[in-house]
Amino acid sequence: MEHGEHAAEVLRVYPAWTDEQPEQSVQALASDRFIACGTWKWIEMQLKTGGSSVFGYRFEDAPPIKSGTASRGAYHSAEIEFVFEQLKSKDLQWRPEDFKLSDLISSYWTNFAKTGDPNGPGLPQWPRYDKQDGYQVMHLSAASHAAPAEDRARYQVLDSVRGRD
């Protein structure tokens, strides 16, 4: 994909003005093109055409790494062991907060599978992803919390540019 005539709007959401920004923006663009924007598009389509509530999340816990390797943070599919409470299936130095997060995520997924809503007694409130609630997503980490989907503007620009190429 070439951005040519769309450079100004792309640079607005993937900036490259400081020494740090180009690397951050390249990583964000690669992630967005690989999975994040497509996932967002599915969420948006479900919101418009589906008959049930939509709940978005962003897994932000960087799993422990083997010594001598550099962590690149959370990655696609890193939450799988957390969902199924299988942290011990990987020989890593898991922290107590990892097990707490695994319990939380497993509870959310179980509730969602049973009822279509991840919320339940004793769990932090996970708001629906919709305009009324400010397009909030659940940020899953040691300090899980809901917040507006801050990357939504990037996805909208990328989707718009893709549609014009």
**pLDDT greater at residue 4 or residue 102:** 102
pLDDT at 123: 97
pLDDT at 92: 86
pLDDT at 139: 97
Q: For residues 89-118, give the mean pLDDT.
A: 95
Q: For residues 132-161, give the mean pLDDT.
A: 93
> Do the beta carbons of residue 34 and residue 27 sit within 8 Å?
no
For the chain, the structural domain boundaries read: 4-164
pLDDT at 74: 84
The chain-wide mean pLDDT, for the chain, equals 90
Query: Looking at the predicted structure, is the pLDDT value of residue 2 above 60?
Result: no
The string of pLDDT tens digits covering residues 3-58 is: 578 888 889 999 999 999 999 999 989 988 888 999 999 999 999 998 899 999 99
The model's pTM: 0.83
pLDDT at 165: 46
User: Tokens 């995520």 belong to which residue?
Assistant: 105
**pLDDT greater at residue 63 or residue 124:** 124
The string of pLDDT tens digits covering residues 82-95 is: 999 999 998 888 99
For residue 150, give every residue at least 6 positions away whose Cβ sits within 8 Å of its Cβ, in sequence order, or none. none
Residue 144 Cα distances to 25, 45, 130, 137, 138, angstroms: 25, 26, 19, 11, 7
In which region does residue 85 sit, left (phi positive, over 0), alpha (psi from -120 to 50) or beta (all else)? left
Q: In what order do the strands lie in the sheet with 56-59?
A: 56-59, 136-140, 145-148
Percent above pLDDT 70 for the chain: 95
**Which alpha helices (H) appear in 33-87, and where do they start and end?**
37-49, 80-83
